[in-house]
Amino acid sequence: MTDSLQTTPTTELLTDDPTWWRQAAVYQIYPRSFADSNGDGIGDLPGITAKVPYLTALGVDAVWLSPFYPSALADGGYDVDDYRDVDPKIGTLAQFDEMITALHGAGIKVIVDLVPNHSSDRHVWFQEALAAPAGSPARARYIFRDGLGEDGELPPSDWTSIFGGPAWTRVADGQWYLHSFASEQPDWDWDNEEVRDDFLTTLRFWSDRGVDGFRVDVAHGLAKSLPEALPSKAELDALPKADGDHPVWDRDEVHEIYATWREVFDSYDPPRTAVAEAWVEPSRRARYASAEGLGQAFNFDLLEADFDATAFHDIITYNLKAADESGSSTTWVFSNHDVVRHPTRYGLPPLAGREIKQGAEWLLAGGDASEVDAERGLRRARAASLFMLGLPGSAYVYQGEELGLPEVGDIPESQRQDPAFFRNPGVDVGRDGCRVPLPWERTGESFGFGPGPAHLPQPTWFRDFSVEAEEGDPTSTLSLYRAALAARRELQTDETLTWEAVADTGAVAGAEPQVLHFSRPGGWHVVCNFGPTPVAMPTGEVLVASGPLGDAGEGPGNGADAVLPGETAVWLRA
């Protein structure tokens, strides 16, 4: 089988190249957990600036910053008080400018997170809405409704929020407002012209400050069309989600909003970019990713898949084709601030269902580390990541992933912060375990995260995953990511992938081989053995390997009888 996929234009990673994003390696920074410069326990912008040499040595093309705006942190910053300022706990606008100058000086682009589905309940317009009467223009910026029952004492519908609990909260005069997430996150009404105009102002504000792109939070949620008589939760859940006519999610009109954003993006040189976080049917990603819209859309398919050759093959084939048809490039991601880190997911005992769910179940059951096969999880995570970094498209790396950092499963209830935990007791443990501040050093109160404590507890084993511990070790995960990201630069000039036959990598001992092999132009070959048993290695010079290679006899694993061990990936040049 040698079908070639994607032959889209050549990409040169020049600083002002408008297509820089197509194959960028993007490093996600969760600012409050990255690096703390002042010892208050919360990561900050000067902390990021101080780590620019680290990011340069890692070899990423861009960073995406999760929200750093003023916020009460009811949802880790995704509850925004003011879209055009910096949270004083995290820094100042002047420090933002310093950070962007330092990143740009190092050739690293900057993507910021935009949260347009909802503001925080402390936003000045929500405060105005609370102070204004029902039916007033101030209320019309949000989604207010009268309640049901004799005195309106019942919510307008029995809908639940994504984090659990009711999706409506009552205000002092008896009306209710809609919040798809926590009650501190009232949903905007995107039919409102002032709301639309204000977001255009925000896009220009950050673009004028030199931001290169935007990650658009809950991009499929903005346009809503709520009938006078609201359907029940059961009726709402039963409605089709892929016909563009669901009252809440993925409505076709949302693309009218993004067309106006596109005009703003394209008024800059180079145009600003955007990537949609849109949890929609795969077939409906194309409109978010179109050149008239946001330009690119996340595909979370690998993040949700088992570590399995067939699953990976089908996901990659589908997404490369779909992205090519929309004129975009796809994105690959295994970990982010919302999911259980992939070395842990891949180390959990197999249960029915998908790995991501296994992670959630394990957390719920107390996150007992002794249940995780940590060695296997890390081995698979390294293989999956090396394989993914060889793919065409944008590669997203979540902070700490480059250290092979596992999930922290056993955060005490008293120290948890995630609203998903508080709003859904016994059902969701939340996402704090992937947001624990990074270990930079082996020692110190917060393992070098800052001069003081860390805002979430770090386990003692964090020291073994610290940058200090991994930096000098050629076998560490950090060294693997650095080597792969350096080599990847050569791959970023073309977007073609050709699946290669795997017949010549027959199983060395037993079992059907679980191998995927693709080539990229320039004689590059990327091979991953997803199965547990070694297979024969295709010939070529080994450039990077996710783990130790073997030889049928003794030796460096590169001779005629070289083998690729189980759960290992390799880059070769033929």
Among 81, 338, 432, 500, binds ligand BGC (CB under 6 A): 338
Nearest distance in Å: CB 415, ligand BGC: 19
Nearest distance in Å: CB 115, ligand BGC: 5
- CA dist., res. 514 & res. 281, Å (int): 28
Query: Is residue 218 near ligand BGC by the rule CB under 6 A?
Result: yes
Residue with tokens 């979370």: 300
Q: Residue 23 or residue 161: which is nearer to ligand BGC going by CB? A: 161
Asked if residues 553 and 560 have their Cβ atoms less than 8 Å apart, the reply is no
Query: Is residue 115 near ligand BGC by the rule CB under 6 A?
Result: yes
Q: Residue 262 or residue 423: which is nearer to ligand BGC going by CB? A: 423
How do strand 273-276 and strand 213-216 relate by DSSP bridges? Answer: parallel
Nearest distance in Å: CB 436, ligand BGC: 15
Among 217, 355, 407, 494, binds ligand BGC (CB under 6 A): 217
Q: Residue 75 or residue 432: which is nearer to ligand BGC going by CB? A: 75
Q: Work out whether the CA dihedral 64, 307, 534, 528 comes out positive or negative.
A: negative
Q: Is 257 helix (H, G, I), strand (E, B) or coil?
A: helix
Q: Residue 216 or residue 527: which is nearer to ligand BGC going by CB? A: 216
Q: Residue 115 or residue 429: which is nearer to ligand BGC going by CB? A: 115
Residue with tokens 């080539």: 519
Binding mask 172-211 for ligand BGC (x = CB under 6 A): ---------x------------------------------
Q: Residue 49 or residue 183: which is nearer to ligand BGC going by CB? A: 183
Binding mask 249-288 for ligand BGC (x = CB under 6 A): ----------------------------x-----------
- CA dist., res. 539 & res. 572, Å (int): 8
Query: Is residue 75 near ligand BGC by the rule CB under 6 A?
Result: yes
Residue with tokens 């059907």: 512
- CA dist., res. 273 & res. 114, Å (int): 12
Q: Shortest Cβ contact with ligand BGC: which residue?
A: 78
For 554, counting Cβ atoms within 10 Å of its Cβ (0-12 exposed, 13-18 middle, 19+ buried), the class is: exposed
Nearest distance in Å: CB 258, ligand BGC: 17
Measure CA 492 to chain center.
21
- b/e per residue, 284-305, with b = 16+ CB within 10 A? bbbbbbbeebbbbbbbbbbbeb
H or E element that contains 419 = helix 419-423
E strands, 88-143, where?
109-114
The sheet carrying 550-551 orders its strands as 535-536, 562-564, 550-551
Query: Is residue 383 near ligand BGC by the rule CB under 6 A?
Result: no
Nearest distance in Å: CB 168, ligand BGC: 17
Residues 6+ apart with CB under 8 A from 497: 4, 5, 6, 316, 320, 391, 392, 518, 519, 520
Query: Is residue 355 near ligand BGC by the rule CB under 6 A?
Result: no
Q: Residue 115 or residue 564: which is nearer to ligand BGC going by CB? A: 115
Chain positions contacting ligand BGC, by CB under 6 A = 75, 78, 115, 181, 217-218, 277, 337-338
